[in-house]
């Protein structure tokens, strides 16, 4: 069974934003890419090195990095 990527961006919520989990822990509600990158920075990743379509790093559920509502 394949493991999930360490970062999961969940589908947009009805109230806005997308829940973000890093290594199984909820780190916040992102309303755009800038929020996501800040959460990843706080988790110890360099935002300048994050590739948003890297499927080994981020699993996008309910739409990719262009879907926030």
List, in sequence order, every beta strand (DSSP E) within the chain: 7-12, 18-22, 25-30, 58-60
**pLDDT tens string 11-67:** 999 988 999 999 999 999 999 999 999 999 999 999 999 999 999 999 999 999 999
Its pTM stands at 0.92
Residue 1 clears pLDDT 50, i.e. is over it: no
């Amino acid at each position: 069974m394949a493991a999930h990527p360490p970062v999961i961006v969940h589908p947009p919520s009805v109230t806005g934003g997308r829940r973000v989990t890093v290594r199984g822990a909820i780190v916040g509600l992102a309303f755009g890419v800038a929020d996501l990158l800040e959460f990843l920075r706080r988790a110890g990743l360099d935002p300048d090195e994050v590739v948003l379509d890297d499927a080994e790093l981020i699993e996008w559920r309910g739409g990719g990095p262009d879907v926030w509502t």
